[in-house]
Structure 1
Amino acid sequence: MHYRDFIGALVLLAGLGVSSMSLAEPGKLTVVGAGGVLQDAERKAFFEPFAKSSGIAVTEDSYSGQMAKVRAMVASGSVSWDVMQVEQNTLLSGCAEGLFEELDWSKIANRDDFIPEAYSDCGVGAFVWSMVPSYDRSKTADGPQNWADFWDMKKWPGKRGFRQTAKMTLEIALLADGVSPGEVYKVLATKAGQDRAFAKLDRIKGDIIWWTSGAESLERLAAGDVVATATFNGRVTAANASGKNFALIWDGQVYGIDYWGIVKGSSNRENAQKFIAFAASDAAQSAFPQYIAYGVTNKKAIQSIKPELAKDLPTTEENLKSAVGLNTEFWADNGEALEARFATWRAQ
């Protein structure tokens, strides 16, 4: 092709609304998860089967929940991530901030096929996870059985592990202080309730080791750095399947939902929608708990999960008896102030 013909072709394509990026990467997709055993499970249940069935090459990346990189991408218009796994409050705030694309649900799924919490303008519920207390049975025969026990430093001396965030940590502190699951957010919505949560944390502050990734929480437990830790239920089950003997305690679980969202300005938006539709299907979702013990959001998938797997999921009826569902509206309204207070408190 002559140079003038080549330029003419590019001009014609530009006129048709076809970008050079879409020409360069018509069959690619970058999906971002949280790493570790969770992303291993996502690879087996979602990434690899989708790539095989669609012919779209899937590239993986991972992050620890921080959105600074996403903000920089969107602000610069140089977006290299397409689909992200995000927690519910991150999705809601990111959607309002313009960091995620609004979804066309008609191209993804029938929203009535999902539990109500799975639907969002900018995301589709991927799975249900839970924060639970755990200890290493190989080191401690009779460990803490609930959050109140977790604070008993006399009976179980040693360090405690917590995720380095106010969200869920403050709820746990109130549960440990005797607040019933159904009253947690009513109490936490008050200044007195917030003071109560921080006062409870003050009692063990010097014995807390903060973690920033699910993998780190159990690495510290295995190493004996902590006697007990707050951690993700799926991580515990996966570790035990690999030979560990960590306790999985459902009393006082605090559960939330992670979503699939599309980064605003993704050049692979069509492929991203195809991936989310695949990952939301009952076939893909019913396969997911085989690889990690997290609940799913597709109603048909929930019904098809084998009982021996269902018993270790946060969404099982028995496991929900003393559970607290993460109140994302509360954190959307109060998260910035509480996280700022939490950071200041930790630094003191």
Structure 2
Amino acid sequence: MKMLVFLALLGLHSAAAVIHSLKYFYTGSSQVPNFPEYMDVGMVDEVQISYCDSNTKRNEPKADWMNKVTADDPQYWEDMTQTCLDSQLTFKNNIETAKQRFNQTGDVHIYQQMYGCEWDDETGVVNGFNQYGYDGEDFIVLDLKTETWIAPKQQAVITKHKWDHKKAFKSQTKNYLTQECPDWLKKYVNYGKSSLMRTERPTLSLLQKTPSSPVSCHATGFYPHRATMFWRKDGEELHEDVEHREILPNHDGSFQMSVDLKLSSVKPEDWRKYECVFQLSGVKDDIITKLDKAVIRTNEGKTGIRSDGGSSEFPVGVVIGVVVVLLLLVAAIIGYVLWKKNKDKDGFKPANTSDTFSSSSSSSSSSSSS
């Protein structure tokens, strides 16, 4: 599955044009205890802007600046709510269809859709995407360049043939992803520019669970998410014995990330040659912290005092914060998390055969969700 990739994961260490994104995550579920049968989440530049589920039956703004949309479109939230209700029925039917095709009965099942667009505010280039998943794996994905659908699973081939031959549906989908979606994205960015275009530098810490564990360079409180962080030795970026972790959201709308360095490859006399470098889009100066035992915060409790005079104990609050953020993220977009977790397992595998999935959720969302 071709997911959008943060600039940070591309390893771009210099300031670049801002690529804005608008994404919608739709999730239908079956027999998941204490969880809505349907939910949808809207996000602009990885910031949540809307939420609706089968319990609330209302689509509501999740960013204050999204209330400005009604000045241009008084019926906006009513239309969004109707899309949510319509998609709920479609996703429920599609789960039942999928269960039949996979010869399944009860148990927990999840059907997902992620669609939207990205826009380069410097070049004006836009890109759209629309993809579906079932039970944590790719099901069917749109190739916008060829205007055809890719079916990684044999059970989706019928859907592929059906949608490939729906000329009106393809035309509508392409128009939404390449025209309407970018237009709405530009409006949203304008509404929230004071928040979305702000710059906040992070706090950097060196963390270590035990003396034999990797040292984690942890940055938190930065914005935007277009950032990268890496370890280097003698001015050269390291690629071996280094593990980059995902950028995660904080509860206040800022972000956090970590990059680990295995100490087994570091000679004691070479510690002073290593440093962690954080780079934020739009900020010229790098934020650098040297590999220094005196400033490493651990959970051993007796590993010395940081150079700033603070305790060197591992910040439990950071760990709890990460866990809480992850739980909230999973609660909001559980389908996306499962999909992403499994996306590298199978990849795309051409298949052959057929089916009758409804595309109404895609077409309705593409024409009225935004």
**Same fold, TM exceeding 0.5?**
no
Which structure is higher in helix share? 1
Which structure is higher in strand share? 2
What is the TM-score with the length of structure 1 in the denominator? 0.29
Higher RCO (Cα < 8 Å, 6 or more apart):
1
What is the TM-score with the length of structure 2 in the denominator? 0.28
